[in-house]
Amino acid sequence: MTKTSAWTKRTPTALLVLSDGTVIEGHGLGATGAIEAEVCFNTALTGYQEILTDPSYAGQIVTFTFPHIGNIGANGEDIEDLNPAARNGAVGAIFKADITDPSNFRAGEHLDAWLKTRGIIAMSGIDTRALTVWIRDNGMPNAVIAHDPAGRFDIEALKERARAWHGLVGLDLAIETTSGQSSQWSEKPWVWNEGFSQNNAGDGDIHIVAVDFGIKRNILRLFSGLGCRVTVVPATTSAEDILAYNPDGIFLSNGPGDPAATGMHAVPNIRKLLETGIPIFGICLGHQILALTLGAQTTKMHQGHHGANHPVKDHTTGKVEIVSMNHGFAVDGESLPENVEETHVSLFDGSNCGLQVKGKPVFSVQHHPEASPGPQDSHYLFRRFINLIRERRGEAALAE
């Protein structure tokens, strides 16, 4: 990979400095300053706002392989984190082309202005294909992304920061992205020409308690759209306090960081919840922490899975679905105990993407069935969870 970008006719106002000393020049966008993070790439063609506000990307710089990012501007609706003021999500972004003026009826502002508001440091003018190939060959690097409109950089100091950064292994980032207190959720999925509607307070005879490790809004919307009452609780909420809400089902959310680190405080609580027989459903980090609770192991991936075009096979149906992915750690499928069945696998690399506990209403998936962005092939998993609850209550199942 070349160490300079295509920006040869203007002073570089942004740098990406990798831990191996590679320096990549570009044009700065968004917030100014410098920050250490892990660099990954995302292959989605659209949904950049949802990607950048997904708390699972905390501690990461997202390289977009699609060349034109920002053309449809930014709006106040395509946000996935619960607390935008906390700026949960990616800390940096890398684009190939300059951001053009927005051209979309939903646009509220230019993406560059939105990046500044969110505190995201970004850069354009990068050969994103070359960077993606580098990551595929070498793994996701630790790096520093820096933006100074005047182009003044202490490159040696940035190199040292990139070399010295500890990386994501061992980091419990969920503790930083979780909600500060419990709350009720009522917003339903977005509908064309109508936007978001609300459930009335107290609506729904099925009560879901969602443990927030860095939860995405669209997960909550899909539960609400299925007629559920949803209570969101912080990641550190004890099993006793969760059970005090008298839930019909317990959901373990997505989130960032090393699942083994988050599991230090989460696993004992989930172990107690498993003993109750209440249906449990996990996504992404929730899947990984559930696997750890059951006795499996997690590992750091070479390049991770980040995109909206990943093929996954559901062994319980025999069907292949195209899904959204966003994870740099994975469950080691070989480490699953005998009472746990592997339900989903990635058709890209064969890695584990789902599990269920034999004889119990407990399952989870690695991918993001709520999408936002991405295809809706896996929405059936939410109905599968509701059906486990209905079955436990002796009620008729919903059609998946």
Geometric angle at alpha carbon 395, from 393 and 400, rounded to 5°: 115
Amino acid (1-letter code) at residue 249: G
φ/ψ of residue 136, rounded to 5: -60, -35
Residues 396, 397, 400, CA angle at the centre, nearest 5°?
A: 160
Which residue is catalytic, options 284, 305, 306, 367? Answer: 284
Spatial distance between the Cα atoms of 336 and 318, rounded to a whole number of angstroms: 21
Element (H, E) at 183: strand 183-185
Catalytic residue (one of 50, 287, 370, 379): 370
Q: Which of 278, 236, 268, 243 is nearest to 385 (CA)?
A: 278
Query: Which entry of 27, 327, 367, 368 is annotated as an active-site residue?
Result: 368
Phi-psi region of 309 (alpha: psi -120 to 50; beta: other; left: phi over 0): alpha
Report the chain's terminal Cα–Cα distance, integer Å.
Answer: 47
Tell me, letter by letter, the H, E, C secondary structure of 33-52.
EEEEEEEEEECCCCCHHHHH
> Is residue 368 annotated as part of the catalytic site, yes or no?
yes
Q: What is the rounded CA–CA span in Å between residue 175 and residue 178?
A: 6
Q: Are 55 and 214 within 8 A, CB to CB? A: yes
| Residue 389 to residue 394: CA distance in whole angstroms | 9
> Is 36 assigned a catalytic role?
no
For this structure, is 187 an active site residue?
A: no
Furthest CA-CA distance within the chain: 70
What is the residue type of 132?
T
Enumerate the active-site residues: 284, 368, 370
